[in-house]
Structure 1
């Protein structure tokens, strides 16, 4: 059993549709396929609220407007993008705030599975990836970030985070470099 898990975070249709990078989903799919082939669990972290959004406070600048836009569970817009969608039996964690740990049972699932090393991917680099990385570092997880497995609407913010900030807490590599370590190629 591996002590590593690949986290695919906020790669939901409504979020993916806001960004333009035709190479992102195929690149991320390579990472997901490589993890599965290596026996590494793929865990999906998604934004998920109950109908009526009882978890969303109107003062929350990020999530407050979602109640007006529609972000109901079980809608096509909130599903994980088809190119990287979970297979039956893969864990999907619903979170209530930006970090994958906030309002979710992510820590419980990871610790119950003996996971000590997290490989982070997702949208956006300055949102879920940054918040989850910071909390995971505080929880003493070993961390790897797949720089091109993350995406942000601001390329400069993405660059600064992956080249200067994340390196304080994690190994930062490309999808291709990471998949090569799994295959020994």
Structure 2
């Protein structure tokens, strides 16, 4: 068992249909790539989380403002290219890809079962968007008593001001917030 066996890096919603909306070029995802590389090098569990829906969108209720629009527009089903993990952070064999049906990484997924089975008590979070999956997962994971770290430069949001408020004022109440480089140096 490695020194980091109780820690998992969650790479959340870094999938083609979401990452593509935020990417200026391939350097946009470089912090995510560096985080994944550092976790693998340290022998840490890397878990990928994506949002996707079954054909016919049975999980998207009409009262859900965000997902009911998606079901009308089409796409984002489990087999669509848009829901596959981006090639720049592609999972390796043995690294789980968890499918969720809501914003939080825990919502409707088997993430908690995987974490329990692997004895994980510490989560390192990165993802797209800071105000979406990262915020929802920080809140839920904190309520589930996980120790949390958020990698602020491996979180993207369409609103830079919202991102800044979350990583500087909201997340520190429940998580350690650091850059990928700062975090990677703690793994040595």
TM-score range, shorter chain: over 0.9
Corresponding position of 1:15:
18
1:29 aligned to 21, 33, 36, which one?
Answer: 33
| TM-score in terms of structure 2 length | 0.94
Number of residue-to-residue matches in the alignment: 183
Give, in angstroms, the shift of residue 69 of structure 1.
3.1
Give, in angstroms, the shift of residue 20 of structure 1.
3.6
| TM-score in terms of structure 1 length | 0.96
2:59 aligned to 52, 55, 58, which one?
Answer: 55
2:68 aligned to 64, 68, 80, which one?
Answer: 64
CA RMSD of aligned residues (A): 1.0
Corresponding position of 1:105:
110
1:144-159 → structure 2 map (5 Å cutoff): 144-159=149-164
Write the distance in 2 (CA, Å) between the matches of 1:70 and 1:58. Answer: 17
Give, in angstroms, the shift of residue 72 of structure 1.
1.5
Corresponding position of 1:83:
88
Write the distance in 2 (CA, Å) between the matches of 1:29 and 1:138. Answer: 28
SS at match of 2:22: coil
